């Protein structure tokens, strides 16, 4: 008992010829094995292929009025949606130069008339097998590309959730800061984008990925405050020397917490590199008078230098339990005064070049009573 392919399982062959006899003959020879579509001109063939389901393969005559087969082939190959359909020239033109021309413009085979149907069937089957293999490979590549995109997106979302959760935890201990986390995040990004072509910073900041990671990591700058007692963290007055020593430990507490999380996950995670730098070193000062290590100049990580200015600026213009908010102009004067002392001079210049953006960010994410 023979098995007949259903019409849905058959490959589609589009036969293009201006001769009704050829169309009838080829259709009769192929209809048991293929779904056959017929077109008596190049224009009709292009329209049939472009509307509905495109054919799997095309048998194309060369000598046709109005538009010859060579031009029809060129138009198929010039259409991104149709260019991968294999084309056979099926023609009475037997010259070597004609066959060469046909193959050069994109045909996969060249069959001369009178037609030997056993040979035509064999060549059709070979080309369809090749097309099926190419299609499967293309589909697999598309699937893999989509899977990579999906995994990258999931990884990015996981990073965002991780950082947001950790930053929110810190914020619950220090709720006087309001939108401080959000503002400093955008201040840092603004400074990084301003400096990304600067010779001293381009080695790191020229890469958009680095700026993105710094932006994501910025909210963790004070995560270590979760380890500071409320009596010190929320004290409305000036801290004693002993209390200040305890407060300064939040830099190491935050860095160590991130490192412990990494160790639990089995090693360093690149996306947390900037988080550790910012958390541990954003209280360092350009002249070496900061903490926790007393680092100075370029020994302070770039990400921490950006955060240092962003953090101080926002603290100055924000209300705290121990002080009222300061105007932008007064805060600006303090930043300028700290150029080369507290802050990297070039970071201060980037701030001065970005004043309108800093003011916009401050207004957009202002704290509300």
- 2 inside domain: no
Sheet containing 12-16: which strands, arranged edge to edge? 35-39, 12-16, 57-60, 87-91, 109-112
- Which residue range is the domain that position 104 belongs to? 12-143
Residue 84's CATH number:
3.40.50.2300
- pLDDT band at 152, cuts 50/70/90? low
Residues 188 and 239 in one domain: yes
- 164 inside domain: no
Final residue before a domain boundary, out of 124, 143, 162: 143
- 24 inside domain: yes
Token reading at 111:
């069959």
pLDDT, position 143: 76
Residues 65 and 214 in one domain: no
Percent of the chain with pLDDT over 70: 88
- pLDDT band at 120, cuts 50/70/90? confident
**Tally of CB atoms within 10 A around 49:** 23
Q: What is the pLDDT of residues 169-212, one digit of tens each?
A: 666 555 555 588 889 999 999 999 999 999 999 999 988 789 98
Residues 126 and 232 in one domain: no
Question: What's the structural domain count of the chain?
Answer: 2
Higher pLDDT, 346 or 142: 346
Q: Is 181 exposed, middle or buried (0-12, 13-18, 19+ CB in 10 A)?
A: buried
- 6 inside domain: no
Residue 252's CATH number:
1.10.3210.10
Percent of the chain with pLDDT over 90: 51
Residues 133 and 221 in one domain: no
Q: Residues 333, 336, 341, 345: what is their CA dihedral angle, to the nearest 10 degrees?
A: 170
Residues 231 and 359 in one domain: yes
Distance CA(59)–CA(41), nearest Å, equals: 12
Q: What is the pLDDT of residues 59-89, one digit of tens each?
A: 999 999 889 999 999 999 999 989 989 998 9
Distance CA(23)–CA(16), nearest Å, equals: 7
Residues 181 and 130 in one domain: no
- What's the pTM? 0.59
pLDDT, position 364: 95
């Amino acid at each position: 008992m023979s098995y007949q392919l259903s019409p849905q399982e058959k490959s589609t062959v589009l036969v293009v010829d201006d001769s009704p006899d050829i169309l009838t003959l080829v259709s009769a020879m192929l209809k048991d094995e293929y779904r056959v579509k017929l077109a008596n001109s190049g224009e009709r063939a292009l329209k049939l292929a472009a509307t509905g389901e495109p054919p799997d393969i095309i048998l194309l005559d060369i000598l046709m009025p109005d538009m010859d087969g060579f031009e029809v082939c060129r138009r198929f190959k010039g259409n991104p949606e149709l260019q991968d359909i294999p084309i056979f020239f099926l023609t009475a033109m037997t010259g070597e130069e004609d066959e060469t021309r046909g193959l050069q413009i994109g045909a996969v085979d060249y069959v001369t008339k009178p037609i030997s149907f056993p040979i035509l069937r064999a060549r059709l089957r070979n080309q369809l097998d090749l097309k099926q293999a190419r299609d499967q490979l293309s589909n697999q590549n598309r699937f893999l590309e989509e899977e990579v995109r999906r995994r990258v997106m999931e990884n990015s979302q996981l990073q965002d959730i991780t950082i947001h959760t950790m930053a929110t935890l810190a914020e619950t201990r220090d709720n006087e800061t309001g939108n401080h986390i959000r503002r400093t995040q955008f201040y840092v990004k603004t400074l990084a984008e301003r400096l990304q072509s600067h010779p001293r910073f381009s080695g790191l900041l020229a890469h958009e990925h680095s700026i993105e990671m710094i932006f994501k990591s910025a909210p963790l700058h004070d995560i270590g405050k979760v380890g500071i007692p409320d009596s010190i963290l929320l004290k409305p007055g000036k801290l004693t020397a002993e209390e200040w020593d305890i407060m300064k430990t939040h830099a190491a507490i935050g860095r160590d917490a991130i490192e412990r999380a990494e160790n639990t996950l089995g090693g360093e995670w690149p996306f947390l590199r900037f988080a550790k730098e910012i958390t541990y070193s954003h209280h360092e000062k350009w002249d070496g008078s900061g903490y926790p290590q007393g680092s100075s100049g370029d020994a302070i990580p770039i990400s921490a230098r950006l955060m240092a200015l962003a953090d101080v600026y926002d603290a100055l213009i924000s209300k705290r339990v121990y002080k009222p908010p300061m105007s932008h102009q007064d805060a600006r004067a303090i930043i300028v005064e700290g150029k080369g002392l507290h802050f990297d001079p070039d970071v201060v210049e980037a701030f001065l070049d970005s004043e309108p953006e800093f003011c916009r960010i401050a207004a957009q994410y202002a704290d509300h009573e």
